Amino acid sequence: MSDIVQSVISSGNLLGEVPVWDVREQALYWVDIDRALLQRFIPASGEVRTWAMPERLSGFALRADAPGIIGAFESGIGFCNPDTGEIDWIAREGLLRAGTIFNEGKVDRAGRFWAGSKDESLTHSTASLYRIDTDLSVTRMADGIGIANFFAWSLDNSRFWLADSLVKQVFAFDYEHATGNILNRSVFKDFADGQTPDGGTIDAEGFLWIAMWGNWKIVRLAADGSVDREIAMPVSQPTSCMFGGPDLRTLYVTSARWGLSPRTGRAAASGECLCSRCWRGGRRGAEVWRMTVLSRPDWIAVDWGTSNLRVWAMHADSAPSLLSHSNLGMGRLASDEFVTVLDDCCASIPDLAGIEVMVCGMAGARQGRLEAPYLKLRSICELWRPRLSARRPPHRVCSRRGRGQAPPRTVRPGPRTQSAPFGAIYIPPQLRRAEPT
């Protein structure tokens, strides 16, 4: 079946960019950079809402712990409440190099916000890549960039990709998920034929989807950089794309009419938001994460099912924060990998020594598959008895059955509760004793 591409919003954007699908709201957010607009589209109702931003907004992420966004604005990085337009600046003076402005922004799976800049003259490689950590510290990660675009992280959190539209290349880095460091920059894809990579996303199979500015198409790249598939667009300047919809199988594409003559050929749809229903092959997007400003949680919940491992930072007075989601179930995840995942998730949270870790796994507990990680935890944690038999607290964490990305629900224990959690007191790696032989 051929690709079905249609216009869903006649937004008339000068420079539509940075589509972000919000799983919580089932809504699409994106910006018009040149007109300083933040926009939201709810497919279920057809509602479109627009907020005027106080400055040009080139990249953003929704916040996990509070209303609003974190944004890469024209003059700096800050939190913004769209309803009031007020900006709480994180970094501003002296952040950007002379002659550069922000051009891209996206959040990684650890809740860190990444922002890239561009040379205003569009001729020099004087721009940089920045990382804003969950403690709000700002680090310049890479230099020598012309126009920063397309940020993506591999599904196993081992690689990071960045496109430089000025030199028409996509670069790959080794990525350390626990620290956010990137190393060993190399050319992943060189569009030597003059095509210009802009923004994009990654799908659930690990393929990269990139909008090709000025080339009327979206390309899908395989892990070796080869072109796996192309989708023709009715606009010459697609700018970025993002999977959305209840099943994450609809590809939303932003576009621009910047620099185009009103009489230009098929430019009538330029500046609109388009969508393509990706039927063939069951393509599905990887979930978009929210920016997290982490404080010490009340406890860590590990929801370990037969096919997925999710780690949550649990707070008694606020919503849980998803720290990690791995497609590795009890039958595939060894005890060493279990501890590595837990350490990676906890590395970005301050002051975790002595925090309680609750592990839930209904099927695994009944079948005895938790024995290996339980024994492994004995070497890194001070174990305590299961909560149900030890203290019967008023609340505990239980895994939610069924598909989806919903956090563990809080329930009261009772005779019908099926899960059999065990717990431990987490000890950071630097404070652990040597493992017994």
| Residues 6 or more apart in contact with residue 414 via CB below 8 angstroms | none
Q: How far apart are CA 297 and CA 316, in angstroms?
A: 8
Q: How far apart are CA 52 and CA 41, in angstroms?
A: 15
Q: How far apart are CA 20 and CA 4, in angstroms?
A: 21
Is 198 assigned a catalytic role?
yes
Instruction: Give the pairing of strands 47-52 and 181-190.
Output: unpaired
216: in domain: no
389: in domain: yes
Q: How far apart are CA 113 and CA 115, in angstroms?
A: 7
The sign of the torsion formed by the CA atoms of 70, 258, 200, 38 equals positive
Identify the active-site residue in 32, 133, 164, 198: 198
Q: Are 407 and 398 in contact (CB under 8 A)?
A: no
Name the domain count of the chain.
1
pTM for this predicted structure? 0.69
193: in domain: no
390: in domain: yes
What one-character DSSP code corresponds to residue 280? Answer: G
State both tokens at 16: 């539509």
Report which secondary-structure segment, H or E, holds 375: helix 371-378
Q: Are 58 and 69 in contact (CB under 8 A)?
A: no
374: in domain: yes
State both tokens at 292: 């997290």
Q: Are 249 and 21 in contact (CB under 8 A)?
A: no
186: in domain: no
The CATH number of the domain holding residue 366 is: 3.30.420.300
Other C-beta atoms lying within 10 Å of the C-beta of residue 26: 14
As beta bridge partners, residue 113 has 107, 132
Q: What is the pLDDT along the chain (437 residues), one digit of tens a residue?
A: 456 677 777 778 899 999 999 988 899 999 999 999 999 999 999 999 999 999 999 999 999 878 899 999 998 999 999 999 999 999 998 999 999 999 999 999 888 999 999 999 999 999 999 999 988 899 999 999 999 999 999 988 999 999 999 999 999 999 998 889 999 999 999 997 889 999 999 998 899 999 999 999 999 999 999 999 999 988 889 999 999 888 888 899 999 988 776 655 444 455 555 555 543 334 566 656 676 665 667 777 776 665 666 777 776 665 566 666 666 555 555 556 666 766 766 665 656 666 777 766 543 433 344 444 444 444 434 433 333 333 333 333 333 333 334 444 433 333 333 344 455 556 566 655 544 33
Q: How far apart are CA 223 and CA 355, in angstroms?
A: 39
317: in domain: yes
368: in domain: yes
Expressed as residue numbers, the domain containing 320 is 299-431
Which of 278, 285, 292 minimizes the C-alpha distance to 202?
285
State both tokens at 366: 């009944």
Which of 79, 87, 146, 136 minimizes the C-alpha distance to 111?
136
As beta bridge partners, residue 255 has 238
